[in-house]
Amino acid sequence: MAIFVDETTKVVYQGLTGSQGKFYGLLNREYGTQVVAGTNPKKAGTDVDGIPIFASVGEAVAATGATASCVFIPAPGVKDAVMDAAEGGVEFVVVITEGVPAHDEAWFYNKLERDYPSVQLLGPNCPGIISPGKCNIGITAGHIAKDGGPVGIVSRSGTLTYQALYELKLNDVGVTTCVGIGGDPVPGTSFIDCLRAFEADPETKAVMMIGEIGGSAEEEAAAFIKAGMSKPVVSYIAGVTAPPGKKMGHAGAIVSGGKGTAAAKMEALKDAGAQVALNPTEAGELMVGVVASL
């Protein structure tokens, strides 16, 4: 199985008529994803390589049965795009866009939590999600992922998401679903959301979790692993050498005093029973060992 998306998922691309939306929308369709529609109020009634364009997500859902959306809208328009998707009736919204104002993220995160609890938001500022061989929504290169399970991946870092997929493929280890949650301060999907879904998925037998400095999401995930995970977890935390008080990469990756350090996160995960690697390649090697013991 897979979590969140699979071969039955039908995707509408918000921003399909833009250069990036078109590039990745068509690439995802070529991978095998059901890309059934795009949106652009100014170009409704046209198409992009045979994919119909609608004025709103609601119209796209009514005409195509779309169940998910992928947002390739410039940052100032993301807030409205997310609400268009939620109001339009999709169940899963992937926001690739980076640079979304934090107050916008907080606003639509809380709006969805309050008024649209059935809508799962992924991102903003994330690479998206891939269930290898079934569905690819976002900017992950499909050829670096091996299908067939038994490993689930969740990562804050886009680049390390790709490396994790490739490390496992090099060792002939398949993946059920890989989720890039993004590193913004207000992510729509958390580590715990993914860990809970992987724990419930019968085909996911082990989980690789990739974190980074800043915030407390990894420590919270460690508490969840300790209390509620029966499946083995391998983890890697990026930013061991990052100096305190300096932002490194993601907006959420800032260490304040003794909080949010790589060392503290690694210690919490070890205490929870996870295997903790010192680099991405070692994480792959540890997971190979886990899979061999399953």
Positions annotated as catalytic residues are: 250
Cα separation, 116 vs 87, whole angstroms: 8
Q: Identify whether the C-beta of residue 146 lies closer than 8 Å to the C-beta of residue 175.
A: yes
Q: Torsions phi, psi of 253, nearest 5? A: -95, 70
Which neighbouring-strand residues pair with 212? 238
Q: Identify whether the C-beta of residue 67 lies closer than 8 Å to the C-beta of residue 91.
A: yes
Tokens of 98: 């980076």
Cα separation, 177 vs 165, whole angstroms: 10
Q: Which residues touch 114 (CB under 8 Å, ≥6 apart)?
A: none
What HEC string does 196-259 produce?
Answer: HHHHHCCCCCEEEEEEECCCCHHHHHHHHHHHHCCCCEEEEEECCCCCCCCECCCCCCECECCE
Cα separation, 24 vs 132, whole angstroms: 16
Cα separation, 98 vs 139, whole angstroms: 13
